[in-house]
Amino acid sequence: MKPIAIVPSANNLGEGPLWNDHDGKLWWTDIHARRLHRHHLATGVTETIETPERLCSYAFLPEKGSRILAAFETGLAYFDTGTKAVEWIVRPETEGSGRRFNDGRTDKQGRFWVGTMVEDEAKAGATRGSLFRFDGALTEQAGGITISNSLCCSPDGRTLYFSDTPSKVIHAYDLDPDSGTISNKRVFAEVTEGYPDGAVIDEEGCLWSARWGAGEVVRHAPDGKVISRLAVPAGQASCPAFGGPDRKTLFVTSAREGLDAAALARDPEAGNLFAYQVEVAGLPVVPFGG
């Protein structure tokens, strides 16, 4: 399948795509460049917003407005994309800790799940990354993590998916919809090609996993079996998201991170955003707080 559109964004580390029903645009972040992008597929116009810290993931808020819940590199804040005002909520990572926040996504009840990652082994030392739940308070749910990724939830909100990318395994947890507690960690899928990066769920309960280093998005059935593979014209595919009025456009971000001139010559689309028309719809994006 070929993309219906390629947005030439040349991101260093494109991540966190989310469809915004309020403005009809696909949002995503270039983490290392400290930029938040918003693209209107019909017009081809992309807006770019500078961010005060690296924006690693985020969630929309219920009200129509310019504020988002932002997982910056050092912590969580409300960020006004219009005025650039930052209201810090919690900031557990200090500059120089060797760790930063990474992948994040809301569950069906509007709780924000977000993980941290080790970015500098020498500075981080023995302290690894964590998986957190934020529902007004930030609470650690799991530890010992190198790179948090693949956060998404089943359509009924009772299963949470997560991966520690270097392990090449996507795990599933039972998620209590009322309390937000997770239990019964188990292997959902083992990855043989590339590394599991961002992931998203469709209406049929299937998980679409971007494979960093393999240049593809893999669709897994609810039991973890591979159903199909979608080739992406960039080796470092980073995260998928459903969007469009019918949620049948699959967007995929990618990255140029770590590629030298020779590698970029072999991978000229690296860092761009890709859009595909697919047959199954994705789930609606849930705002923080429900």
**What DSSP line would sit under 115-145, residue for residue?**
EEEES-HHHHTT--EEEEEESSSEEEEEEEE
Q: What are the phi and psi torsion angles at 122 (to 5°)?
A: -65, -40
| Domain contains 57 | yes
| Domain contains 290 | no
CB atoms closer than 10 angstroms to residue 88: 13
d(CA 283, CA 290): 14
Q: Which domain holds residue 198?
A: 5-277
Question: Is 197 in the active site?
Answer: yes
**pTM of the shown model:** 0.97
pLDDT reported for residue 63:
87
pLDDT digits (tens, 9 = 90+) for 113-149: 999 999 999 999 999 999 999 999 999 999 999 999 9
| Domain contains 185 | yes
| Domain contains 39 | yes
pLDDT reported for residue 290:
65
Continuous H helices in 91-250: 121-124
206's tokens: 């299937």
| Domain contains 23 | yes
Q: Number of structural domains, the chain?
A: 1
| Domain contains 117 | yes
pLDDT reported for residue 118:
98
Q: Which of the residues in the chain have pLDDT under 70?
A: 290
Q: What are the phi and psi torsion angles at 240 (to 5°)?
A: -100, 160
| Domain contains 284 | no
| Domain contains 289 | no
| CATH number reported for the structural domain that contains residue 82 in this entry | 2.120.10.30
47's tokens: 């807006």
Tokens 């080739």 belong to residue: 231
pLDDT reported for residue 95:
82
pLDDT reported for residue 84:
96
Kindly name the residue from 176, 197, 223, 267 that is annotated as catalytic: 197
pLDDT reported for residue 64:
82
